[in-house]
Amino acid sequence: MDTFTNTSRPLANYHSTVWGYHFLSYTPHLTEITSQEKVELDELKVLTRKMLVETPEDSEQKLVLIDTIQRLGVAYHFHNEIETSLQNIFDASQENENIDDNLHVVSLRFRLVRQQGHHMSSDVFKQFTYQDGKFKEPLTNDVQGLLSLYDAAHMRVHEEEILEEALSFATTHLESIAASNLSNNSLKVQVIEALSQPIRKTLPRVGARKYIPIYENYDARDDLLLKFAKLDFNTLQKLHQRELSELTRWWKDLDFANKYPYARDRLVECYFWILGVYFEPQYSRARKMMTKVLKITSIIDDTYDAYATFDELVPFTDAIQRWDINVIDSIPSYLKPVYLALLDIYDEMEQVLAKECKLERVCYAKYEMKKLVRAYFKEAQWLNADYTPKYEEHVENALVTSAYMMASTTSLVGMEEFISRENFEWLKNEPLIVRSASLINRAMDDIVGHEFEQEREHVASTFECYMNEYGVSKQEAYSKFQKEITNGWKDINKEFFRPTEVPTFVLERVLNFARVMDTLYKNEDGYTNSKGKVKNMISSLLVESIQI
């Protein structure tokens, strides 16, 4: 390919794919669910529902059961039952001033109810504090209570001092427990897991894979529930393997690993990303659509960021804005395959959704993709002009290049639910929750990636812009960005309070996109450098089944 020679290019030298075409081997025959497995799964589901409905609403057992069902990854089967129960539990807590003095129960109730969007007051924790607002010292001996308090505190919004204090108190004491010789090993494992990632920031599927073996070691476990969770996990895993096999075939047929050797070859990682956004069986179509979009976006991103010259990007950007096969001859020959693939993906979406009278969804998706590409091009213009933007100017553009505005809208395209035009308009106007998730994405990415990017010719990152403009050290910039991430999570929590402006399932997609960042980008860029912890996570979710 002559285009790859004779030009000085800002190459990034990404490592090659970890997975290759491994998932082609997961054929429909290999991933079939037997009729016996289906029957057993249905029976266990009926028994679990019965247990859930019959456990009294006002009991500690009900709270623990709902929490267990959620953490084992099977709550999606009982959406309505859990919704009704938590509504009743919240209503009862508002009417009844009968104070429960068990830290674990109060914290668990608070977290479950807030997760559901009910605005329970954080004043419920006042009984556990002294006059000066500090938490009572004897609580340090209640490990289960501290764990629950820690997870509850991650549901905080702005101006909740008592929850700031709770988080600080719980974290300090849990860290010393993690370093100690706690006799209860199962509890110690939970403490270490929680400190690594609280429930609020954990992807449901990743959390379930970790929690199933923890629950299995409980003396008080329910074996029926445990078996249901394991069977359900393995059944879903087979569906996910089938989807990934189809996507691998699509990717192999495009031959982009060879056509774009400068780009990150990360199909499986893209699928893992989208699996974080929705894992449930009814979203199979949406997952496949969104994985294709994310993979092509990744190539386009790397083209702007780590390969193409400015003169090549001008016609390429224009062609995407026009979105017309007839302009293909105006772009460099090496970019024609990716341009064609981009148009094909959206054409495919249109063909499917036209049958359901949902074509306008694809219009919103195209609008967001064009907007994203314009933002990529703006960075290329800055670099070409040797211009360092002001921090605020850079942030506004960087929120778009994080790709989460595009992804939040596009993730809804293939979903089965009714989604109104007003919901798409709301997303188009960059609501707080989408800006917050985008900010978490950009800040976490910049913290772990800015030095790698500066090793080649690259526009200054948000990180550098902040340091340059305010004359601060790297450590001060790091602290500023960590605070932005914390505030972003508070804003996300606030946006879930009822009444919400859009259906909760729309907000959940955005929440899960933020969770993916916390999973992939904490301490390292796990998407770019996917040989370590991300490879292990993918194996545990998509390769290794759970022993029944």
- φ, ψ of residue 44 in degrees (nearest 5): -65, -35
Q: Which helix (H) or strand (E) holds 179?
A: none
Task: Provide the pLDDT for residue 6.
Answer: 46
Topology of 255-543 in CATH?
Farnesyl Diphosphate Synthase (1.10.600)
Task: Provide the pLDDT for residue 532.
Answer: 87
64 Cβ neighbours under 8 A, 6+ residues apart: 108
- Beta bridge partners of residue 129, listed in sequence order: 135
Task: Provide the pLDDT for residue 452.
Answer: 56
Give the Cβ contact number of residue 295 at 10 Å. Answer: 28
Pick the CATH number of 55-221 from 1.50.10.130, 1.10.3720.10, 1.20.1080.10, 3.40.640.10: 1.50.10.130
Domain with CATH 1.10.600.10 in the chain: 255-543
Burial environment of residue 139 by CB neighbours within 10 A (0 to 12, 13 to 18, 19 or more): middle
Residues 140-179: tens digit of each pLDDT: 999 999 999 999 999 999 999 999 999 999 999 999 999 9
Task: Provide the pLDDT for residue 455.
Answer: 56
Residues 5-49: tens digit of each pLDDT: 446 676 767 888 989 999 999 999 999 999 999 999 999 999 999
Task: Provide the pLDDT for residue 531.
Answer: 83
Q: Look at residue 155 and give its three-state secondary structure.
A: coil
Nearest to 25 by CA among 284, 252, 356, 324: 252
Domain with CATH 1.50.10.130 in the chain: 55-221
Q: Look at residue 135 and give its three-state secondary structure.
A: strand
Task: Provide the pLDDT for residue 449.
Answer: 75
Task: Provide the pLDDT for residue 538.
Answer: 97
Answer yes or no: are the C-beta atoms of 304 and 10 closer than 8 Å.
no
Residues of the chain with pLDDT under 50: 1-6
Q: In the chain, count H helices and then E strands.
A: 23, 0
